[in-house]
A and B are shown apart, each in its own frame.
Chain A
Amino acid sequence: MNKTYYSKLIFELSRPGRVGYSLPKNEFEGYSLVQLGATQSRQTKTLLPECDELTVVRHYTNMSNNNFGVDTGFYPLGSCTMKYNPKLNEELCQLPGFNIHPMTPAKYAQGSLKLYDEVQKTLAEIAGLSRFTLNPYAGAHGELTGLMVIRQYHMSRGDVARTKIIVPDSAHGTNPASAAVCGLQIVEVKSLADGTVDVEALKPLLGPDIAGMMMTNPNTLGLFETKIPEIARLVHECGGLMYYDGANLNPMLGVCRPGDMGFDVMHINLHKTFSTPHGGGGPGSGPVGVRKGLEEFLPNPKPLSNSPEGEGLYLRCEESSLGYISFFLGNFGIIIRAYAYLLSLGKENIPMAGKLSVLNANYIKESLRSHYELPIDTVCKHEFVFDGLREEYGGDHHSPEHVTTLDVAKRLLDYGFHAPTIYFPLLFHEALMIEPTETESKETLDDFIAVMKKIAEEAKADPQLLKTAPHDTPVRRMDDVKAVKEPKFTFKAL
């Protein structure tokens, strides 16, 4: 990426009278917006910029040079599965045949409906579950939808007292936040020193008020919860359902399926596990799968096969469903990309993606434990957590001058790497969560390892170098306090 900061905003390039579009001549005489009265019409002028086409193209092209993506370099952001986004997928999602209005009668949308159904079936096989809805727009939206399925199931049985959900204390903040939006109360279960769920602490929490339990497996530390069969049995015995947060599904592909672990409902992040681009934070896609017996509760509308009006697929809305959670069938453009990826990999490579991601993670972990504090020493899955630098490299948390994880992260940017996830999970003071993904080569990992070691040496020799990092990025460290205290959210406020 470019080290020169391109700092302009489009509003600063605007010159009255310029245009960047072309429309055909208005063919319809006698009709004009002035026919709308003053009560209906906009009174204030807009501040939209006035720019010619090349100005707009250069502006955004220059802006893109301030940005780092997977195509720029290694992006080991823990819990985010920043794998390569294949270009074929981008080509195929733009096929004109897919650009149809959502209210197109099913008869004229058979291709899209079949694609939806194929992805749905493929995910069900990968997850070991019965059926998926692809309607949820993102991981958090999938979580919310999945929890709605669980509540809808209990309510359909008249079991209305189940209003609590168990969440491990190591869980990502989205889990409790989604549960709260769904109207559930959160009950936290403690983790053991090794970061896995404390089964003994779980037992007393179970009862007739428990709707279910949310887990991710491997958990946020990248560790497989080996007691999962027992946990699932206990939760099922108390009448609850098991929810699987698919954030960490990647390493389990083809090896061990959530359905076989004992989960009843789950979501998958297509932008993590199935290679759709993260897009600067969205749009994602968060399909939700359910075990047999829960299909009827999935959101409307539902593409189903064997249309009563003849051949092909059709859309149905069911009374027993939890209702609508989206405008239509979700982020269809993202679903097309995921389908291209699933077809490309096939049954041979889907499991290999997971295994190689685990290989890469363990390789980095073993190569860097000499310099970084490894709080839990065991084979990890796709990711793992360091608790900052080791003491001998200036990482002693008790010293007020210690070199923090933030300092290490910022210094990594100077060396052309994206930083890992920092300060999550909350179980450690200086968490540094590394997830390399399977699309990274050994050379890339070796470069990263060498730089991480170099940074540790720098921390020992010249801590100020890290504390003032980054030095070689388009811009330097930001004043976060100013951003909150003197909030400016628009150009007008500058």
Chain B
Amino acid sequence: MAKVIEGLYYAESHEYVRVEGEYGYIGITDYAQDQLGNVVYVDMPEVDDEVTAGEEFGAVESVKAASDLFSPVSGTVVEVNEALEDEPELINKDAFANWIIKVELSDKSELDKLMDAAAYEAICK
């Protein structure tokens, strides 16, 4: 059974946001990594790129599938998780610990449109 963590915000497209102050850490959920299988590549944006809620910002690739990443929130990319460039499989090991991008949030009210852990768990059943 896929893991879901309390206190994060979840999108229907299986990304999460962990909010720390003005920043949000965005990654894919444990359920998403499990569906994809062995992750072999993560296509990430560059620092200073703008992301928009609901729009694509990259992709995760496994051997026989690829999935676009949709940003749950809008903002500016302040950091990308460079560890994933060499070890994309970290996402399979722990999807929640291995976020993909760190974003400076431009509109915190967008978080209200996302799901909490309980609601997300329900759609993964």
Q: Do A and B come from the same complex? A: yes
Residues in B neighbouring A481, C-beta threshold 8 A: 38, 40, 63
User: How many A-B contacts if CB must be within 8 Å?
Assistant: 11
Question: Distance (Å) between the CB of A479 and the closest chain B CB?
Answer: 10
Over the window 447-473 of chain A, the binary record of Cβ atoms lying under 8 Å from chain B Cβ atoms (1 yes, 0 no) is: 000000000000000000000000000
Q: Using a Cβ–Cβ cut-off of 8 Å, how many residues does chain B contribute to the interface with A?
A: 6
A398 at the interface (CB under 8 A from B): no
Contacts of B40 in A (CB 8 A): 481, 484-485
CA distance A423 to B41 in the complex (A): 22
Taking CB as reference atom, which chain A residue is nearest B40? A484
Find chain B residues with CB under 8 A from A485 CB. 40
Please name all residues of chain A whose beta carbon is closer than 8 Å to the beta carbon of B64 when the two chains form the complex.
Answer: 423, 480
Proximity bits, B45-74, A CB within 8 Å = 1, else 0: 000000000000000010110000000000
Q: How far is the CB of B123 from chain A (nearest CB, A)?
A: 19
Q: Mark B19-58, 1 if CB is under 8 A from A, else 0.
A: 0000000000000000000101100000000000000000
CA distance A484 to B40 in the complex (A): 7
Task: Tell me the complex Cα distance, A480–B40, Å.
Answer: 10
Which residues, 478 to 492 on A, are CB-close (under 8 Å) to B? 480-481, 484-485
Contacts of B41 in A (CB 8 A): 484
Contacts of B63 in A (CB 8 A): 480-481, 484
Complex CA–CA separation, A484 to B63 (angstroms): 7
Q: How far is the CA of A485 from the CA of B85 in the complex (A)?
A: 11
Give the complex CA separation of A481 and B62 in angstroms: 8
Q: How far is the CB of A261 from chain B (nearest CB, A)?
A: 34
Q: What is the distance, in angstroms, from A70's C-beta to the closest C-beta of chain B?
A: 26
The answer for the CA separation of A362 and B83 in the assembled complex, in Å, is: 53
Give the contacts of A373-431 with B (CB-CB under 8 A).
Answer: 423
Residues of B within 8 A of A423 (CB): 64
Question: Smallest CB–CB gap between A365 and chain B, Å?
Answer: 27
Instruction: Give 1 or 0 for each of A56-74: 1 = CB within 8 Å of chain B CB.
Output: 0000000000000000000
Interface centre among A423, A480, A485 (most CB of B within 10 A): A485
Q: Complex: how many Å from CA A98 to CA B95? A: 60
* Bound CA–CA A297/B8 (angstroms): 55
Taken together as a complex, chains A and B put the C-alpha atoms of A481 and B38 apart, in Å, by 7
Q: Tell me the bound Cα distance from A423 to B64 in angstroms.
A: 11
CB-nearest residue of chain A to B87: A485
CA distance A424 to B41 in the complex (A): 24
Q: Which residues of B contact A484 (CB under 8 A)?
A: 40-41, 61, 63
CB-nearest residue of chain B to A484:
B40
Instruction: Report how far A254 CA is from B88 CA in the complex, Å.
Output: 53
Closest A-chain residue to B88, C-beta based? Answer: A485
Q: How far is the CA of A10 from the CA of B5 in the complex (A)?
A: 54
Over the window 318-356 of chain A, the binary record of Cβ atoms lying under 8 Å from chain B Cβ atoms (1 yes, 0 no) is 000000000000000000000000000000000000000
Measured CA separation A484–B66 after assembly (Å)? 13
Give A340 Cβ to nearest chain B Cβ, in Å. 38
Q: How far is the CB of B102 from chain A (nearest CB, A)?
A: 25
- Which B residues lie within 8 Å of A480 (CB)? 63-64
CA distance in complex: A480, B41 (Å): 14
Specify the chain B residue showing the minimal Cβ separation from A485.
B40
B89: nearest residue on chain A (CB-CB)? A485
Task: Compute how far the CA of A275 lies from the CA of B63 in the bound complex, rounded to whole angstroms.
Answer: 33
How far apart are A367's CB and chain B's nearest CB, in angstroms? 30
B9: min CB distance to chain A, Å: 28
Q: How far is the CB of B64 from chain A (nearest CB, A)?
A: 8
> Which residues on A are within 8 Å of B, measured CB to CB?
423, 480-481, 484-485
Residues of chain B having any CB pair with chain A under 8 Å: 38, 40-41, 61, 63-64
* 3 closest A-B pairs by CB: A484-B40, A480-B63, A481-B38
Known contacts A480-B64, A481-B63, A484-B61; 8 additional CB pairs below 8 A are A423-B64, A480-B63, A481-B38, A481-B40, A484-B40, A484-B41, A484-B63, A485-B40
Return 5 A-B CB contacts under 8 Å, by A number. Answer: A423-B64, A480-B63, A480-B64, A481-B40, A484-B40
